[in-house]
């Protein structure tokens, strides 16, 4: 008769406060910032992509964690401290003076410092995509938003008026204000292309990662094409609203169809990006396989 001794299962790893202190601080600091983002940024059209980017970015990062752990290397404690203190200073300043852009940037910097402390520099460099993707959560400062949307509004207004005029519709443009028959239309920030631009960048990057798993050169190529695609989509949106307003009145052009036109043309721009990808990927792969 043989006897076997039943071994008790090995105790699981204990949660240690000091090694996980950066994550504890980041988690506590993130909760009020996420609430402020939801109230001040994500509830507006130009920041509507925020919750999607946060959820999908966290999922992508979670998928990359095993690879980062396998490639983990030594990090320098002094560099972690400097980066963490600098990020916390930016976070506190933005929080104290109600600068949501600086507050979010400080939190993001502290998050990167915590990842560096855990895995080292090279694993972060090799797994760069989720870090760049999550950077789309950083709100654009108001002054930068105004500087960027001003030329875009002028561009799409000029293109829309130029394309509509040959149709025989009486239209007069002065800057971003267009007089169409008895109606006056103002091209606002929502029609400038910036809102579609940020959303398209987020969805296109996620599409590239999920289905293509392409390198950074091809990813950069598609991202550069997002700018003209977003401009074209918003020019078509403005033309649609001009036609609706001229033929059916201001109530129709600025009512439900105003939002519907925006959603439809955003879907059109997204479909155009997918079509460009399906064609460009073949030529890109051929070019990559050719010897230098």
pLDDT tens across 179-225, in order? 888 887 777 655 555 566 777 788 888 887 776 665 667 777 887 88
Start-to-end CA distance of the chain, whole Å, equals 72
Identify the pLDDT of residue 86. 94
Identify the pLDDT of residue 12. 37
Identify the pLDDT of residue 289. 43
Phi, psi of 168 (to 5 degrees): 85, 10
Q: How far is it, in rounded angstroms, from Cα 149 to Cα 117?
A: 38
Beta strands in 187-286 (DSSP E): none
Identify the pLDDT of residue 192. 53
Q: Cβ–Cβ contacts within 10 Å for residue 24, how many?
A: 12
Q: Cβ–Cβ contacts within 10 Å for residue 141, how many?
A: 14
pLDDT < 70 stretches in the chain:
1-29, 45-46, 142, 146, 188-196, 211-216, 251-262, 284-292
Identify the pLDDT of residue 262. 62
Q: How far is it, in rounded angstroms, from Cα 135 to Cα 53?
A: 9
- Residues 35-59 pLDDT 10s: 888 888 887 766 777 888 888 899 9
Identify the pLDDT of residue 209. 78
Identify the pLDDT of residue 20. 62
Catalytic positions, written as ranges: 191, 237
Identify the pLDDT of residue 154. 83
Query: pTM (2 decimals)?
Result: 0.71
Identify the pLDDT of residue 112. 92
Identify the pLDDT of residue 82. 93
Q: Shortest CA distance to 22 belongs to which of 100, 119, 104?
A: 119
Query: Which are the contacts of 178, defined by CB distance < 8 A and separation ≥ 6?
Result: 157, 160, 161, 171, 172, 184, 185, 186, 187, 242
Q: How far is it, in rounded angstroms, from Cα 227 to Cα 220?
A: 12
Q: Which CA distances in Å does 118 have to 65, 88, 150, 169, 290?
A: 11, 18, 43, 63, 40
């Amino acid at each position: 008769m043989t006897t076997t001794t039943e071994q008790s299962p090995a105790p699981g790893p204990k949660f240690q406060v000091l090694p996980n202190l950066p994550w504890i601080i980041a988690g506590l600091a993130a909760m009020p910032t996420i609430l402020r983002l939801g109230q001040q940024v994500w509830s507006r059209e130009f920041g509507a992509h925020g919750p999607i980017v946060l959820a999908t970015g966290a999922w992508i990062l979670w998928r990359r964690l095993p690879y980062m752990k396998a490639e983990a290397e030594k990090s320098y404690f002094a560099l972690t401290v400097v980066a963490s203190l600098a990020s916390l200073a930016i976070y506190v300043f933005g929080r104290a003076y109600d600068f949501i852009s600086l507050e979010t940037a400080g939190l993001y910097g502290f998050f990167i410092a915590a990842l560096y402390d855990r895995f080292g520099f090279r694993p972060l460099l090799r797994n760069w995509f989720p870090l760049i993707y999550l950077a789309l959560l950083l709100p654009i400062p108001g002054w930068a938003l105004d500087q960027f949307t001003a030329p875009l509004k002028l561009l799409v207004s000029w293109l829309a008026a130029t394309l509509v005029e040959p149709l025989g519709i009486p239209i007069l443009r002065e800057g971003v204000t267009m007089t169409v028959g008895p109606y006056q239309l103002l091209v606002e920030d929502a029609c400038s292309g910036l809102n579609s631009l940020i959303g398209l960048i987020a969805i296109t990057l996620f599409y590239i990662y999920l289905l293509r798993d392409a390198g950074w050169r091809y990813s950069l190529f598609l991202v550069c094409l997002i700018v003209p695609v977003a401009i074209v989509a918003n020019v078509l949106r403005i033309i649609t609203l001009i036609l609706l307003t001229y033929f059916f009145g201001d109530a129709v052009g600025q009512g439900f169809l105003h939002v519907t036109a925006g959603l439809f043309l955003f879907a059109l721009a997204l479909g155009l990006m997918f079509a460009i990808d399906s064609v460009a990927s073949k030529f890109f792969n051929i070019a990559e396989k050719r010897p230098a």
